[in-house]
Amino acid sequence: MIVATAVCPSPPLLLRELTGGRDVAADLRKACEEAVGALIAAAPDVIVVLGADERSAERVEGRIPLSAFGGPGERVPEAEALPTSLAVARRLLDDLGVRVPVEMGTIAVDAGPAETARRGRAIADRPERVGLLVMADAGARRGLRAPGHLDERTFPVDEAIRAALAAGDTAALLDLDPALCADLLIGGRSALQALAHARSGTPVAGARLLYADDPFGVLYLVALWPGARR
Amino acid sequence: MMRLRGREYGEHESLVMAIVNRTPDSFYDKGATWDDGPAFERVRRVVAEGADIVDIGGIKAAPGEEIGVDEEKRRVVDFVAAVRAEFPDLVISVDTWRASVGRAVCEAGADLLNDAWGGYDPGLAEVAAEFGAALVCTHTAGVTPRTRPHRVRYEDVVADAVSATVALAERAVALGVDPASVFIDPAHDFAKNTWHSLELTRRLDEMTATGWPVLVSLSNKDFVGETLDLPVGERLTGTLAATAVCAWHGARVYRVHEVAETRQILDMVASIRGVRPPARTVRGLA
């Protein structure tokens, strides 16, 4: 049973050590902490983290590889390093002093409908009280200075994702076109569709969007979906 | 030993490569040398200021309007031929990732192919070998030309840069490029965040230790801008600081917008290292 769901983006700059003298992502981090804090406050037995990555993996453990981004600290061998999405999740959970068990896994950015459905249902079917944290990014081609430069096609797609997260609209997330999302560097498409499968069938009431902005050309969305009432 | 256009350079000589953009939209000059007249003026000025090499490019590095092979050739080939005619001894480099463009500019008189996108077109090194041209081998982590870094990560960015550029250099030599004419370039900002570029600068001695001459392209780049929080146009001081550190670590070629300032930095660092006598020393000696 999913008792609450939080959605956060995973830019490395959420790792405070990487943003230099000025904290350029303070507002975003605060919104993420609010979302993850609410997840913890829902008293889950376990927090399940699903993050986008190049490959799918059911269970992932490892360390936050600050060094991979040129940050401080000892070098973390790639084999022991968390994928970026899970590294950001780990940091958010650690900063909030999470006490319950955390299980982390990845879903491939190019995962198809069968896989997103299977992963989503597997989380939904768990008997314990699950707090689901989905690490998912929207488009990265939102301006001339964006990582992926400008692609005008991104605006309606990003808006659809924003509106879906704000409204708890799982059907809209399932409508996202994988090929178009890949073109637009929407890394979170598969994770969001797994979320939609996990939460489909029971209406999502009281969804809240805590952050929606693109200060660096990537659309960051932070959302909190309370659990379905039984 | 380095060899360019038949001339040999000693182990303590460093070279300034002046950027000449044949683009309407490059980040620094914003098209100042798009037309032939200003472009020629730029070449004459940088030669007068002491540039050893001009690096002519027809496509800006950042994303933007797609420039096909024919348009790239139109921008650079005739210009290379004209510069060659006016400056018979000047080393002419062309910044391109395309083998077909490399072939055309070598036929027009270019001496050096600056493969700024890290061997994206493997045919470019073959063209260098065929024409006896020099080659710059850059580290771009295999990215597609004209893409920006997005959350790129490395287990060890310096080790990655060393292994990738040395592999490209060894491949070029195996194809027949003169080993004295192959340069390696860590490619600051390319497939890197600012931390990565700073670390490459700090540990550039690990690249120079390979024995391959190292080229650095630091000029006014975003890693300087982010470090000092300054826009394009206010990054010269930071660029020169990075230049000094690279010089201290033994880099040999500096791809720059500002030639005279760079030359001063290189001379000063060379004198501090003890490999260049000061220009004039009277103080306390009279």
pLDDT, tens only, A100-127: 999 999 999 999 999 999 999 999 999 9
CB nearest to A68's CB, from B63, B148, B154: B154
Which of A12, A81, A150 has the CB atom closest to B151's CB atom? Answer: A12
What mean pLDDT do residues B127-138 have?
98
Q: CA nearest A13 in B: which residue?
A: B151
| CB of A22 less than 8 A from some CB of B | yes
What are phi and psi for residue B33, nearest 5 degrees?
Answer: -115, 35
Checking if the pLDDT of B265 tops 80, the result is yes
B226 in contact with chain A, both atoms CB, cutoff 8 A: yes
B171 an active-site residue? no
Closest-CA residue of chain A to B195? A70
Tokens found for residue A118: 């299977």
Give me the pLDDT at residue B244, please.
98
Judged by a CB distance cut-off of 8 A, whether residue A84 touches chain B is yes
Q: What are the C-alpha distances in Å from A128 to residues A118, A200, B79, B83? A: 18, 18, 71, 74
Interface confidence: ipTM more than 0.85: no
- CA B4 – CA B132 distance, rounded (Å): 10
Does any CB of chain B come closer than 8 Å to the CB of residue A227?
no
% pLDDT > 70, chain A: 99
**What's the rounded Cα separation, in Å, for the pair B132 and B6?**
10
Report the residue from A70, A81, A146 with minimal CB separation from B198. A70
Mean predicted confidence (pLDDT) in B101-115 = 98
The three-state (H, E, C) secondary structure of A79-148, written as one string = HHECCHHHHHHHHHHHHCCCCCCEEEEEEECCCCHHHHHHHHHHHHCCCCCEEEEEECCCCCCECCCCCC
The answer to whether the CB atoms of A147 and B193 lie below 8 A apart is no
Q: How far is CA B112 from the centre of its chain?
A: 10
pTM here is: 0.89
**Contact A149/B155, CB-based, under 8 Å?**
no
A-to-B residue pairs, Cβ atoms closer than 8 angstroms: 56
How far is residue B201's CA from residue B214's CA, in Å, rounded to a whole number? 12
Give the minimum alpha-carbon distance from A77 to chain B in angstroms, rounded to a whole number: 6
A185 touches chain B (CB under 8 A): yes
The answer to whether A76 faces chain B, any CB pair under 8 Å, is yes
Band the pLDDT of A228: cuts 50, 70, 90: low
* Chain B residue nearest residue A12, CA to CA: B151
For B40-83, write each residue's pLDDT tens digit: 999 999 999 999 999 999 999 988 889 999 999 999 999 999 99
3-state secondary structure of B67: coil
> Does B69 touch chain A if contact means CB atoms closer than 8 Å?
no
Going by the DSSP 8-state scheme, the letter that residue A54 receives in this structure is S
Task: For residue A185, give the DSSP letter.
Answer: T
Catalytic residue selected from B75, B221, B235, B252: B221
Mean residue pLDDT of chain A comes to 95
Whether B44 is a known active-site residue: answer: no
The answer to whether the Cβ–Cβ distance between A84 and B153 falls below 8 Å is yes
List, for residues B177-218, the tens digit of each pLDDT value.
999 999 999 999 999 999 999 999 999 999 999 999 999 999
Average pLDDT over residues B241-258: 98
> What are the helix (H) ranges across B123-281?
123-131, 157-175, 194-202, 205-208, 222-228, 236-248, 259-273
- Name the residue in chain A with its Cα closest to that of B201: A70
pLDDT value of position A230: 47
Q: Which residues of B touch A18 (CB under 8 A)?
A: 193, 195
Catalytic residue among B22, B73, B203, B255: B255
Query: Is A68 in the B-facing interface, judged by CB distances under 8 Å?
Result: yes
Residues of B within 8 A of A20 (CB-CB) are 194, 226-227
Whether the CB-CB separation of A137 and A187 falls below 8 Å is answered with yes
Asked whether the beta carbons of B25 and B60 are under 8 A apart, the reply is yes
Is B60 at the interface with chain A, CB within 8 A? no
